[in-house]
């Protein structure tokens, strides 16, 4: 007899923790890019807003990790039958 088990997405999954941390850092960098970046900082980086691009990159990685967690909640864990 075949028994199906449902896998519930767990908030203690490492992907959630990583996505949350990267998301918070990315959000902070994007805010700093708009609030505290002046011409002096832009001159140091050749006109590229490093905080903005780093923040957007971290937010993108956080979104990918969050989607991966939602799509595959088991995360490759093996399930043993009793």
Domain extent for 32: 14-71
Q: Distances from the Cα of 63 to the Cαs of 17, 53, 58, 60, in angstroms?
A: 12, 15, 9, 5
pLDDT value for 74: 75
Question: Does pLDDT of 1 surpass 80?
Answer: no
Domain count, the chain: 1
* pLDDT confidence bin for 66, thresholds 50/70/90: very high
Tell which residue, 20, 48, 22, 46, has the closest CA to residue 33.
48
User: Would the pTM of this model clear 0.85, i.e. be above it?
Assistant: no
Question: Does pLDDT of 64 surpass 90?
Answer: yes
Question: Which of helix, strand or coil describes residue 3?
Answer: coil
- Cα 82 to Cα 79: distance, rounded to the nearest angstrom: 10
Could you read off the pLDDT of 14-26 as tens digits, one per residue?
899 999 999 999 9
Contact 63, 21 (CB under 8 A): no
Q: Radius of gyration (Cα) for the chain, nearest Å?
A: 19
Q: For residue 61, is it within any domain?
A: yes
Q: For residue 9, is it within any domain?
A: no
Rounded mean pLDDT of 8-33?
A: 90
Q: For residue 2, is it within any domain?
A: no
């Amino acid at each position: 007899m075949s028994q199906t088990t449902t896998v519930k997405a767990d908030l203690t999954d490492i992907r959630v923790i990583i996505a949350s941390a990267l998301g918070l850092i990315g959000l902070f960098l994007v805010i700093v890019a708009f609030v505290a970046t002046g011409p002096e900082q832009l001159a140091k980086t050749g006109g590229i807003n490093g905080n903005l691009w780093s923040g957007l990159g971290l937010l993108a990685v956080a979104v990918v990790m969050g989607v991966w967690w939602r799509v595959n909640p088991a995360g490759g864990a093996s399930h043993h039958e009793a």
